[in-house]
Amino acid sequence: MFLENFDPLKDEMIQIMDKDGVVVRPDLMPDLTDEEIVELYKTMRFSRIIDEKTLQYQRQGRMLTYAPNLGQEATQVGSAFAIRQTDWVAPSFRELGVWLRKGAPLKNIFLYWFGNELGMKMPEEVRILPVTIPIASQMQHASGLAYAARYRGLDDIAVAYVGDGGTSQGDFHEALNFAAVQSLPNVFIVQNNQFAISTRRKIQTKSGTIAQKALAYGIPGVQVDGNDIFAMYAVTKEAADRARRGDGPTLIEAYTYRMGAHTTSDDPTVYRDNSEVDEWRDKDPIDRLRKYMMAKGIWDEEKEEAYSEERGRFVKETFEDVEKSGDTPLEDTFDYVFAQKTPILEAQYQAKKAFYAKEGK
Amino acid sequence: MFLENFDPLKDEMIQIMDKDGVVVRPDLMPDLTDEEIVELYKTMRFSRIIDEKTLQYQRQGRMLTYAPNLGQEATQVGSAFAIRQTDWVAPSFRELGVWLRKGAPLKNIFLYWFGNELGMKMPEEVRILPVTIPIASQMQHASGLAYAARYRGLDDIAVAYVGDGGTSQGDFHEALNFAAVQSLPNVFIVQNNQFAISTRRKIQTKSGTIAQKALAYGIPGVQVDGNDIFAMYAVTKEAADRARRGDGPTLIEAYTYRMGAHTTSDDPTVYRDNSEVDEWRDKDPIDRLRKYMMAKGIWDEEKEEAYSEERGRFVKETFEDVEKSGDTPLEDTFDYVFAQKTPILEAQYQAKKAFYAKEGK
Amino acid sequence: MLVLNLVEAVTNALDTAMANDKNVVVYGEDVGVEGGVFRATKGLQEKYGAERCFDSILAESNIVGAGIGMAINGLKPVVEIQFSGFMFPAFNQIVTHAARMRNRTRGLYTVPMVIRMPYGGGVRALEHHSESLEVLFAHTAGLKIVVPSTPYDAKGLLLAAIADPDPVIFMEPKRIYRAFKQEVPEEYYTIPIGKAKVLKEGKNLTVVAWGAMVRETQKAIEILEKEGHSIELIDLRTISPIDKETILASVQKTGRFAVVHEAATTFGPGAELITTVNEGAFLYLEAPPKRVGSNDTIVPLPKGEHHYVPDTDYIVSELRTVLEF
Amino acid sequence: MLVLNLVEAVTNALDTAMANDKNVVVYGEDVGVEGGVFRATKGLQEKYGAERCFDSILAESNIVGAGIGMAINGLKPVVEIQFSGFMFPAFNQIVTHAARMRNRTRGLYTVPMVIRMPYGGGVRALEHHSESLEVLFAHTAGLKIVVPSTPYDAKGLLLAAIADPDPVIFMEPKRIYRAFKQEVPEEYYTIPIGKAKVLKEGKNLTVVAWGAMVRETQKAIEILEKEGHSIELIDLRTISPIDKETILASVQKTGRFAVVHEAATTFGPGAELITTVNEGAFLYLEAPPKRVGSNDTIVPLPKGEHHYVPDTDYIVSELRTVLEF
Ligand SMILES: Cc1ncc(C[n+]2csc(CCOP(=O)(O)OP(=O)(O)O)c2C)c(N)n1
Ligand SMILES: Cc1ncc(C[n+]2csc(CCOP(=O)(O)OP(=O)(O)O)c2C)c(N)n1
Ligand SMILES: [Mg+2]
Ligand SMILES: [Mg+2]
């Protein structure tokens, strides 16, 4: 529907709902119940609350480096809503909305950013690979996950997320090419938030759209308004169906904006004007859906407040819980290098333990 | 001319002279003198003679592994003719025609394939980087050569050659992207000879043409009949002019065929039928130009024979000369690791020398 | 019993593993239709189909990276890097992912994958076809590195690598791929990873070697034993984790130690072994331990390669300095 | 005299080099507009323009690979890898090209390029931001590896690296980027690559360290000297080539040896130094030499990092075993 008719060279962008929450393409509007729409909204809102509170904790010196996804909630939640629970995700590091939708416990997420590997030991059903730090390397894993799913006769697909900066890495290229050659059940989603830390998208690549990079691999590529959750949902859904049918991978460019700093270590005022941020604030994905819901009468200020309050409390409690989690025990740093500690690791572990005992540590 | 009007998505291919040596697109025919055309021919012929004799020497056990470029002579010689002596080339390992055109002494080329690093110490004016074994890595160097040329205010350009297999590597992607972003004076030539060792082009990528990969970088891409030396010359010339003018890089897909084995270690009968090779023999780039020249009256059997005979003798003499070149002296293996031997290298060198002396080696 | 050379034993091991376990998949450059440039995967595509044995794209980072995804999702990829010198594009995937997935997820996701690669010199090959890179892997936490030196070991170690729950780098000494044949059981068997093998007992000197250097060292030892020395030879078999126990027991008996390897000397594998001996048998040492490795030069092209890799004479001469200390 | 911390000294060295030589270009991820994530290139784009100091694309293999081309064609690229843990995608270019171009062409083409990278732990960073990878480079022929431990050294060594006719890996201990300030001359000066520095003389034990471990070791030595020991401390400064002369002279005097490093222990840099000492001062050794390194585990995330890197107490305890042997 979108995919077949879309020409990524025309610099078009799929939008269903405009920035005022008005559905401008009713023909493309996905079939979502009111409950589902509220659920979409709540997930985005929850993500925003987590980001805001975590930034606050970070400023208070209670959190380590954190990468907020402010402004990208629709991109993430919309796409994640369009896939199944058993589908795989190979994430980058800024996909809070995806984690939430796929059922990752907030406690795990906090533990991870708190510097504890236990965080990435997610419940098995979450099916998201751990946060990937080496940019774009996860793309390759997605292709392998998809290969294995098909090989095993399952109809699970694998979705990879990557940033606009990540499209420059060789791994991006190789993964798309392999998935295309093998016609793998993959969906590749580029969150084009206009920046790789301080580096603007225009410096990252000269192609008119990122979606058109799909042409290099002979697969469909589509540019989507990443701040329009209906568009993100609808396009991802179609790409996922396509993948599941055996018709191969799709590249989705979600056109969005990183409203916050790259991470809490970053000072974006060095490289961008606040006025630019303000412009994008006007296109906020959460406000947009709220306007839609309010107009439709399925949400109101009261619900908003109640939900925010309840979620805020939950975030606070979870974070305080995580704050008490303490350091990683010595043995944990040794126990997961291999299935079984090697004799050398065992000896090093015993030596450190003896040292701690001696020093009363 | 070609570049602006060419749409790589249409699966078209630029051909000026057909397989019978007839110019089918006189409008595109480059402005070459008869002498230049004869020179084009001679260079191709010379390349073919070298390949044939080297394969013979190899069968006789007088040569190590060798990668012939049989069938790809027009791709190489045509493109190399279109650039200037001071332009840089970043080659792969199968560009004999380019080396010859750029003035590389045959002796050096033989020395290299004979297993002697001295071979790649070319005369300075050749301006070709050494044979590159790690596939596609040379593409990145080409972008840097081009950057430096422009930075230094020179109007030299840099041409990179890579195979169809090489397009799968991340380095291919990164180099094109960087060159495009920086609008560098580069020409990237893919010798699509249909194989990467035994792996067919269709398994390497699903894109309809390799030329269309240019769209991923927002640069022109053009597919050329690589066995038509006029087309190769004309397209490369335009891409080179474009680069020199400061308009940025171009991707050229030279559609050709590897007539011989991958290298002398390879047995292509394992993975392809001779009938396929025969079909391509019909499109031989050298025969094609000879027919053209004969029809035009600027070449005849007599000249052919005399030239072949003279070149054959030269190749033989050069090879015999190289056969006498002997082993690499011990000190040479130490002397070029750094500008100055480190104390550790000096000590190792002295120890080995002493050992040789003791053993009477 | 089959009688196989080393590369045939590799093929046989792959065949055995694929027959045993449907989840074993084999791929790499030219691995499918052609059966690999060394024919290590010969016949496997015909026998098991193109889904289980296929030609990858020409991209090592994808070969390993996709394998990581497959392994996480239930398969057992056994991939081939055409020559070890071409593993560099895959190094990021190997080090930052294959080696770390288990630790990063506290055991939730693991990467039971084998990365095979022919390595080492002595075959008059082109540049980058002769590297010995074991240290680059061995210094990386989360990887096991295995090197067979005989057909029998090749099959048993490769099957053990495939059965291993963690990523294993399987380095094949291509110089001896076809050097000799040996009886190899037809059935499934494994040789434990992490255990060295005492090939030959001796009294005055312990020598550790692996891969193609085992044979070179055996020849050197023959010469030296004719002179009356008694030398113990250990085939390390697994580079990481090192079997310290076997080595230290031997050095504590012989009082002298040497290691022979193809890799470059400085920051090479020999340094680790000598340090191991320092840490576990210092007071037993009657002579400074010795490493016999290749020069710290770039692997020369064929016309200079003989200056680089230790040969029998050189090993003899170096071992003699330890024996005569 | 300027008074600068280590990262400021790096910036000052780059500024000095760019002012001196128009062919010095500086680039890397976020190096231009932002001045680098650590601000090591702060102000350089403003001062020298976007042609000489620019933001690369997010692709380390291109950063190094393009630099190789630039260096061959007359420039002096000084590139930044944002964290050493992200050098892996560039490793192929570093090892197979930067390190080999001179040898491959018998001196026709050379790669006078500097690859800077912050390295090491102790800053509570995300995964892959804390690696100590010196061995991976040091085992590779054709590379020099330099690590400063003070602002003064940072400037002098970086200027020497830029002046060097061959590729130099310049590893910056980011943990001490802002730890202390020091007087740094305003003008151009170099500190020779390949020379270690005796920071402190001593009689009973030689300790070698580099980078951030120098300060940690100094603290440990203070504690031990209060107990009456006399310890010689050498800042290695250059990891490859190692300054054997300085180390061996010291060990021949003290009779005891230890090395302290952040890298993982096994197949780590300590093994090479111990082997060096075995080869050159075995008969002087009164105790087994000791390496104090990080565990052979994966660098833990911040909540476990203290288990990994040697700290003062641990160094004290380990050195004591050598002193009291
Ligand atoms: C291989 C690698 N190089 C560099 C980095 C450092 N780094 C972390 S995030 C980032 C920018 C990523 O930009 P993009 O892909 O657009 O994702 P975004 O941050 O915008 O979500 C960089 C350079 C890294 N993590 N991995
Ligand atoms: C990084 C790397 N991987 C693998 C190889 C082994 N290899 C040598 S040539 C080749 C195929 C190259 O195919 P293509 O790029 O099409 O060039 P062609 O041989 O057809 O000229 C391969 C896989 C290599 N040289 N480098
Ligand atoms: Mg971005
Ligand atoms: Mg090819």
pLDDT tens, position by position, C19-62: 999 999 999 999 999 999 999 999 999 999 999 999 999 999 99
In this prediction, residue A1 carries a pLDDT of 64
Angle (CA) B331 B337 B338, round 5°: 110
3-state helix/strand/coil string of D222-289: HHHHHCCCCEEEEECCEEECCCHHHHHHHHHHHCCEEEEEEEECCCCHHHHHHHHHHHHHHHHCCCCC
Q: Are C179 and C149 in contact (CB under 8 A)?
A: no
In this prediction, residue A202 carries a pLDDT of 96
Q: Are B44 and B286 in contact (CB under 8 A)?
A: yes
Say whether A313 is catalytic: no
Q: Which residue is it, tokens 């001071």?
A: B86
pLDDT digits (tens, 9 = 90+) for B229-254: 999 999 999 999 999 999 999 999 99
Helix or strand or coil: residue D199? strand
Q: List CB-based neighbours of ion ligand 3 within 5 Å.
A: A 163-165, 193, 195-196
List, in order, residues 6 or more apart from B10 with CB less than 8 Å away: none
pLDDT digits (tens, 9 = 90+) for D103-139: 999 999 999 999 999 999 999 999 999 999 999 999 9
Smallest Cα–Cα separation from B207: which of B216, B195, B219? Answer: B216
CB contact under 8 A, A344 and C89: no
CB contact under 8 A, D103 and C142: no
Instruction: Examine the pLDDT at A3 and tell me if it is beyond 90.
Output: no
Smallest Cα–Cα separation from A209: which of B217, C264, D185, B10? Answer: B217
CB contact under 8 A, A216 and B215: yes
User: All domains of chain D, ordered by start, with CATH?
Assistant: 2-184 (3.40.50.970), 197-323 (3.40.50.920)
Which residues from A are below 8 Å from C56, CB to CB?
A: 178
Q: Are A92 and A135 in contact (CB under 8 A)?
A: yes
If you average pLDDT over every residue of chain A, what do you get?
97
Q: Are C3 and C182 in contact (CB under 8 A)?
A: yes
Q: What is the pTM of this model?
A: 0.98
- Among B65, B170, B355, select the one facing C125 at the smallest CB separation: B65
Which residues from B are below 8 Å from C293, CB to CB?
A: none
DSSP H stretches of helix in chain B? 2-5, 34-59, 73-81, 96-101, 106-113, 137-151, 170-181, 201-204, 229-245, 274-281, 285-296, 301-323, 330-335, 343-359
Here the tokens at position A285 are 């994905």
CA B64, B70, B75, B79 torsion-angle sign: positive
pLDDT digits (tens, 9 = 90+) for B315-326: 999 999 999 999
Give the confidence band of C256 by pLDDT, cuts at 50, 70, 90: very high
Which residues from C are below 8 Å from B335, CB to CB?
A: none
Helix or strand or coil: residue B308? helix
CB contact under 8 A, A330 and D307: yes
Q: Are B74 and B226 in contact (CB under 8 A)?
A: yes
In this prediction, residue C186 carries a pLDDT of 97
Give the confidence band of B1 by pLDDT, cuts at 50, 70, 90: low
CB contact under 8 A, D301 and A169: no
φ and ψ at residue B196, rounded to 5 degrees: -120, 105
Proximal ligand: closest to the CA of D37: 1
pLDDT digits (tens, 9 = 90+) for C165-176: 999 999 999 999
Instruction: Examine the pLDDT at D101 and tell me if it is beyond 80.
Output: yes
Length of chain C equals 325
List, in order, residues 6 or more apart from D227 with CB less than 8 Å away: none
Angle (CA) C72 C74 C80, round 5°: 75
Round to whole Å and give the CA distance between D65 and D99.
Answer: 12
Give the confidence band of A2 by pLDDT, cuts at 50, 70, 90: confident
pLDDT digits (tens, 9 = 90+) for B31-61: 999 999 999 999 999 999 999 999 999 999 9
Q: Are A194 and A200 in contact (CB under 8 A)?
A: yes
Q: Which chains touch A (3 or more CB pairs under 8 A)?
A: B, C, D
Here the tokens at position D70 are 């630039």
In this prediction, residue D56 carries a pLDDT of 98
Instruction: Examine the pLDDT at A11 and tell me if it is beyond 90.
Output: no
Smallest Cα–Cα separation from A54: which of A126, A109, A118? Answer: A109
pLDDT digits (tens, 9 = 90+) for A185-243: 999 999 999 999 999 999 999 999 999 999 999 999 999 999 999 999 999 999 999 99
pLDDT digits (tens, 9 = 90+) for A22-51: 999 999 999 999 999 999 999 999 999 999
Over residues A175-185, the mean pLDDT reads 98
Give the confidence band of B4 by pLDDT, cuts at 50, 70, 90: confident
In this prediction, residue D10 carries a pLDDT of 98
Q: What are the C-alpha distances in Å from B281 to residues B41, B190, B260, C221? A: 17, 21, 11, 56
Q: Which residues pair with C118 in a beta bridge?
A: C172
List, in order, residues 6 or more apart from A181 with CB less than 8 Å away: B203, B204, B205, B206, C57
If you average pLDDT over every residue of chain C, what do you get?
98
Would you tell me the crossing angle of helices C244-254 and A343-359 to the nearest 10 degrees? 90
CB contact under 8 A, C108 and A121: yes
Q: Which residue of D has its CA nearest to C325?
A: D283
B-D C-beta contacts closer than 8 Å: 141
- For D107: left if phi > 0, alpha if psi spans -120 to 50, otherwise beta; the answer is left
In this prediction, residue D299 carries a pLDDT of 98
Q: Ligand 4 mean position to B171 CA, how many Å? A: 16
Smallest Cα–Cα separation from C254: which of C211, C298, C200, C176? Answer: C200
Over residues D159-174, the mean pLDDT reads 98
Q: Kindly indicate whether the domain formed by A2-327 is annotated with CATH number 3.40.50.300.
A: no
- Among C66, C73, C194, select the one facing A178 at the smallest CB separation: C66
Domain residue extents for chain A: 2-327, 329-361
Would you tell me the crossing angle of helices D6-20 and D151-163 to the nearest 10 degrees? 30
B17 by Cβ neighbours in 10 Å (0-12 / 13-18 / 19+) ranks as: buried
Which residues from C are below 8 Å from D240, CB to CB?
A: 266-267
Q: Ligand 3 mean position to C140 CA, how many Å? A: 30
Active-site position among A271, A281, A313, A336: A271
Instruction: Examine the pLDDT at C216 and tell me if it is beyond 70.
Output: yes
Interface of A with B (CB under 8 A): 9, 168-174, 177, 180-181, 183, 203-208, 212-213, 215-219
Q: Are A163 and B159 in contact (CB under 8 A)?
A: no
Round to whole Å and give the CA distance between A181 and A146.
Answer: 13
In this prediction, residue A361 carries a pLDDT of 80
Closest CA–CA distance from residue D3 to any residue of chain C (Å): 37
Q: Which residue is it, tokens 């390349």?
A: B47
* Other Cβ atoms closer than 10 A to A126: 16
